[in-house]
Each structure stands twice: as C-alpha cells, then as structure tokens.
C-alpha cells in the first residue's frame, strides 16, 4: 500500500521511496512506490508531474492501494530505490486554485444559498457549477467580495480523518458520496468539506480570487474564475492590453470605452457616407456611358468599359443599373482582381451567360451565368482587356 505523503505535508517536493511494483499502462512503463509525494488525478484535481531518478513522470493514477507513476521512459531495473521530485510550480498552482475553489463555493452558499454540485480544474480553466440560475452581476460580486475577505482573514486550512459516526455532528458543506472514514478539509470556522486534494496552509496564500464569467448550463450556473498566480497573470495580460490600447488611441485607460464608442459611431457614419457617394458615382457613370454609347439603328447599344480601380461590387451595381435601360448590352471589367460583368436589358434576346462563356473562352478566364446577368474572372488585366476588345464581335455572333 502506497503511503500518501501529500496528505501529511502538501509542501513536500522531494522524497525517497522503494519501488514495490512495475507495470505497463497504455504502453508506457509505470512504477508503484511504498510512499509518494505525487498527487494522483482525483477529486477534481489533476495529477502532479515531476521525475523519479530523473525519469519524467507524465501521469499519476490512484488504484486504491497503490499509486502508479506513469513514466516517459524506462526506469532501470537496478533502481529499486528512487528519489522523486514533483514539479512544484504546477502543484502550487493546483493548491492555490483548489483552496480558492473551497473558499468561493462556501462564499456562494453564504451569500446566495447556491451549492457547488461540481467543480473542475485543468491547466487552463477553473470552474464550479452552482445549483442556481439567474444570479445577477451584483450577486456574483457579493460572493467574490466575501471570498476575498476570507483570503485576507488568513484562516488556517487543515485536514483530518474522521469516522463515519462523527459526520452527522460536523455540518459538512456537501454530503459525501462515499462511506467509511473521510478526510475533512477545514478552513478555519468558515468551511468544512470532505476532500482528498492538496491545499495551501492558510487562506492568504490563495491570493486574489477573481470571477471571470458566469454561464448558464440547464438548471445550473457555471462560474469561471482564477486564483493566485492565475489571477495575477490574467491581470497582467489585461493591464498590458489596456495600456497598449490607450497608447494606440492616445487616451487615458479609463476613457477607452468612450473613445471606442465614438470611433464606432464615426466608422458607421463614414461607411454610410461612402456608400452614398459610391451610389451617386455609379449612377453618374451610368448616365455618362448611356450618353456616349454608340447608337446603331435597331441594334442593341453595346456598352463596353473597364474599371480596374473600382470595387467589384460597384462595377456590378453599374452593370445592373444599365440593364434597366432598354436596348442595351453591357460588358464591363473591374474589381480588385480582374472580373467580367455582363448584363442585357429585358428587351434584348441575347443570353448573358452565353456571352460570358464566349468571352472567357476567347480571352482565357472562367465564368458563367444565364439570362440577363452573368459574371466571369480573368487571371490578369491583359486578358480582361482582350475580352473587352472582342466584345463587339462576340455580341454580333450571338445575334446571328
């Protein structure tokens, strides 16, 4: 049976132990020791990592009597005694966040009678699920405030084993699901719950507890939060972002939302004005083209023009305006990349799709469509110009 050193001292980072069993777990070598400071995955807390005689420990599993250390490589058979070292920064992060979770869970009970029904800790997230919905921002702030007061009171965090008979008198935060002796973790006179995890020795070591967001999940609310080093990293990142934005916009950090709102309104107004100007330009251009289009008896007026600097949306708009004038066939190129736009008015019988297919086949491009409007594209402007030069002949062919 492996002695769990972390139960007596969560601050022990290295130890020596005897190898008592060897195995293979999912194709990786694993060893069990007579004693270990490695915390195995369980109770919501991820396992420790570290080394045994220098061989990396990648996973730690609790099999009841034995704790298995899954290794990245083989531990030599001669190594019957090992020196273990745990990754302290990872463990410390787990301790701060696990203790912070106990504090916040009890804070939600005291402020809003909201019980934590599940919790989860990973390298990147910490959450509790509350059996309540509809908690306001103010309600969340209440619980956060109380949690941070408890941190400042620097209450001792202690653990002890109690028998099943003692439980009824002990008013636990949550009824444990297992029978038999239990390990209780107590935070001064504030909180008492069954827990197998590793904790800091006093609440001040948790550092800041900061709620990030609440998310409704069915009839529960999931609270995302950070404690200690994670809260500091979160603050640092957000402070840096705010500072960079304030520098970028040349304003005080506190004025950022006002400045961004003003810019947003200005951008909307600019966009609206630009669209209006573009429409006016396109309409004026349509009139100019119609005035200069060659009139040739009963033949459709062929309008051919190129707009390399225009947005394709504008050129399309121009083609569609010209389509509204009787007796016209319009062949335009334009856009950021060379595109072809062909439109014909209702009273002209030529198929626009057929024209596009003929033009791209002759000049080298691709495209299609049918009826009174069709589009194509060219790999370069040279081919687009070539298509325009061929337009008169292609239209004449299509009429025959």
Smallest distance, Zn ion to C-beta of residue 185, A: 6
Closer to Zn ion by CB, 84 or 197: give it: 197
Smallest distance, Zn ion to C-beta of residue 247, A: 43
- Cβ–Cβ < 8 Å for 358, 398: yes
Smallest distance, Zn ion to C-beta of residue 104, A: 12
Closer to Zn ion by CB, 197 or 228: give it: 197
Smallest distance, Zn ion to C-beta of residue 6, A: 13
Smallest distance, Zn ion to C-beta of residue 260, A: 41
Smallest distance, Zn ion to C-beta of residue 120, A: 12
N- to C-terminal Cα distance for the chain? 97
The whole-angstrom separation of Cα 399 and Cα 60 is 81
What DSSP string runs through 29-76?
A: EEEEESEE-PPPSBTTBPPP-EEETTEEEEEEEE-SS-EEEEESSPPP
Residue showing the smallest CB distance to Zn ion in the complex: 195
DSSP symbol at 400: -
Closer to Zn ion by CB, 193 or 355: give it: 193
Closer to Zn ion by CB, 52 or 184: give it: 184
**Is the Cα torsion angle 243, 228, 118, 129 positive or negative in sign?**
negative
- Cβ–Cβ < 8 Å for 19, 31: yes
- Cβ–Cβ < 8 Å for 372, 346: yes
Residues in contact with Zn ion by CB under 5 A are 195, 197
Q: Which residues pair with 83 in a beta bridge?
A: 16
Closer to Zn ion by CB, 52 or 187: give it: 187
Smallest distance, Zn ion to C-beta of residue 130, A: 16
Closer to Zn ion by CB, 197 or 365: give it: 197
User: Any idea what the Cα angle at residue 50 is, between residues 2 and 193, rounded to 5°?
Assistant: 55
Smallest distance, Zn ion to C-beta of residue 193, A: 6
DSSP symbol at 114: P
Q: How many CA atoms lie within 13 A of 10 on its CB side?
A: 22
Which pair of structure tokens corresponds to residue 321?
A: 């305006």
- Judged by DSSP in three states, 268 sits in helix
- Cβ–Cβ < 8 Å for 320, 339: no
Closer to Zn ion by CB, 94 or 301: give it: 94
**Beta strand 116-121 with 126-130: parallel, antiparallel or unpaired?**
antiparallel
């Amino acid at each position: 049976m492996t002695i769990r050193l972390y139960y007596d001292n969560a601050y022990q980072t290295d130890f020596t132990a005897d190898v008592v069993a060897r195995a293979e777990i999912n194709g990786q070598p694993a060893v069990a020791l007579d004693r270990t400071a490695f915390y195995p995955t369980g109770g919501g807390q991820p396992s420790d990592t570290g080394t045994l005689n220098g061989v990396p420990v990648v996973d730690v599993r609790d099999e009841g009597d034995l704790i298995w250390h899954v290794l990245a490589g083989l531990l030599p058979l001669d190594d019957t005694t090992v020196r273990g070292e745990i990754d302290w920064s990872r463990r410390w992060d787990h301790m701060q966040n696990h203790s912070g979770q106990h504090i916040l869970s009890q804070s939600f009970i005291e402020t809003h009678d909201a019980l934590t029904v599940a919790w989860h800790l990973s390298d990147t997230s910490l959450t509790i699920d509350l059996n309540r919905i509809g908690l306001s921002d103010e309600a969340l702030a209440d619980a956060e405030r109380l949690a941070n007061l408890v941190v400042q009171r620097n209450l001792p965090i202690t653990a002890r084993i109690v028998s099943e008979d003692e439980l009824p008198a002990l008013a636990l935060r949550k009824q444990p699901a297992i029978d038999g002796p239990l390990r209780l973790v107590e935070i001064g006179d504030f909180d008492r719950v069954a827990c197998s995890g590793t904790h800091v020795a006093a609440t001040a070591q948790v550092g800041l507890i900061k709620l990030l967001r609440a998310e409704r999940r069915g009839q529960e609310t999931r609270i995302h939060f950070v404690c200690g080093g994670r809260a500091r990293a979160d603050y640092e990142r957000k402070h840096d972002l705010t500072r960079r934005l304030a520098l970028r916009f040349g304003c005080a950090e506190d004025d950022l939302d006002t400045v961004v709102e003003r810019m947003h309104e200005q951008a909307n107004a600019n966009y609206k004005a630009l669209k209006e100007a573009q429409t006016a330009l396109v309409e004026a251009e349509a009139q100019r083209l119609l005035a200069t289009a060659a009139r040739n008896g009963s033949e459709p007026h062929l309008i051919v023009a190129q707009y390399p600097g225009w947005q394709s949306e504008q050129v399309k708009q121009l083609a569609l305006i010209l389509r509204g004038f009787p007796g016209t066939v319009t062949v335009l190129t334009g856009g950021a990349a060379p595109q072809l736009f062909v439109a014909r008015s209702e009273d002209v019988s030529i198929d626009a799709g057929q024209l596009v297919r003929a033009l791209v086949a002759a000049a080298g491009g691709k495209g299609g469509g049918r009826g009174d409007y069709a589009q194509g594209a060219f790999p370069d402007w040279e081919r687009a110009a070539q298509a325009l030069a061929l337009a008169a002949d292609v239209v004449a062919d299509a009429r025959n």
